[in-house]
Homo-oligomer: A and B are copies of this chain.
Amino acid sequence: MLEKIRIVLVNTYHPGNIGSAARAMKVMGLDRLYLVSPNQFPHEDANTMAAGAEDILDKIVLCETLEDAVGDCEHVIATSARPRSHQVPAMTPPECALFAHQTPAAEEVAIVFGRERSGLTTEEYELCNKHVFIPANPDYSILNMASAVQIIAYELYQKSLTHFEPVKKEMERPSAKEMKFFLQRMEERLDDAGYFKGKPKDVTLGKLRAYFQRSLPEKAELSLLQGILTRLESEEDWQRRQQIK
């Protein structure tokens, strides 16, 4: 689902940003990186920042112009930090990800990131048929280029997990009946321990019940709690012990 997507960086100034972008891509399952006339590449800063994503650097496609990089794509999506003079449809990042996934597998999708300072030229922008903007702080919207790649890649990856289920061990929950038994036993044990003396019992008990219900214990946890109740001292014994002391 992510195979049809290429990330295109135009005229990147700092080679470190190329490495960071590669890492940002790889961590979200993307691996096709195109560079349009980078200032310096290859460069050791790119390798340093790639930190394990060098395989992406190794198969980078170097191009002279944006047209060389995206000419064969059905979909070319420009990115920016502000909604541009809406000449092409503007999307938010999740809309962009949804769009990318909904295009047929045989169609190529390019997502284009402009220069660090000046973005895309009008001519480059006109090669794009879609536009994604990342909503950001209006007083400071200069998103780092690799961060922008990270956000878009993140959204693409999340959408690729359509059938994602959290890796989570099934927890065994007590039945309502077991929970009720626990709460009854708690009341008996606390009564026996004189816990309610000097307290409005109904209110206090109601609060404790509500708390334990809301806490959704697992079965195993419930028996740990039962164990605690077992260890409550009876009021009688407690009184006796107070006198001895």
CB pair A211 B217 closer than 8 Å? yes
> A112 contacts which chain B residues (CB < 8 A)?
none
A158 contacts the other chain (Cβ, under 8 Å)? yes
CB pair A137 B232 closer than 8 Å? no
Q: A142-B27, A151-B150 are in contact. Are A166 and B90 (CB under 8 A)?
A: yes
CB pair A211 B207 closer than 8 Å? no
CB pair B141 A27 closer than 8 Å? yes
CB pair A29 B238 closer than 8 Å? no
A-B contact pairs, 27 of them (CB 8 A): A20-B144, A27-B137, A27-B140, A27-B141, A27-B143, A28-B136, A29-B136, A29-B137, A53-B140, A82-B167, A83-B166, A83-B167, A92-B158, A93-B154, A135-B158, A146-B147, A147-B150, A151-B154, A194-B231, A195-B231, A207-B224, A215-B216, A215-B217, A231-B233, A231-B238, A232-B232, A232-B233
CB pair B142 A228 closer than 8 Å? no
Instruction: Tell me, in angstroms, the Cα distance from A24 to B214 when the chains sit together.
Output: 32
Contact with B along A214-231 (1 / 0, CB 8 A): 111110110010011001
Instruction: Tell me which of B140, B151, B221 contacts A52 (CB under 8 A).
Output: B140
Instruction: Tell me, in angstroms, the Cα distance from A166 to B90 when the chains sit together.
Output: 9
Contact with B along A152-191 (1 / 0, CB 8 A): 0010011001001011110100000000000000000010
Name A49's closest neighbour in chain B (CB-CB): B144
Q: Which of A137, A195, A208, A212 has the most chain B CB within a 10 Å cutoff?
A: A137
Instruction: Tell me which of B150, B190, B224 contacts A208 (CB under 8 A).
Output: B224
Top 3 A-B residue pairs of the complex, sorted by shortest distance between their CB atoms = A215-B215, A233-B233, A29-B137
A237 contacts the other chain (Cβ, under 8 Å)? yes
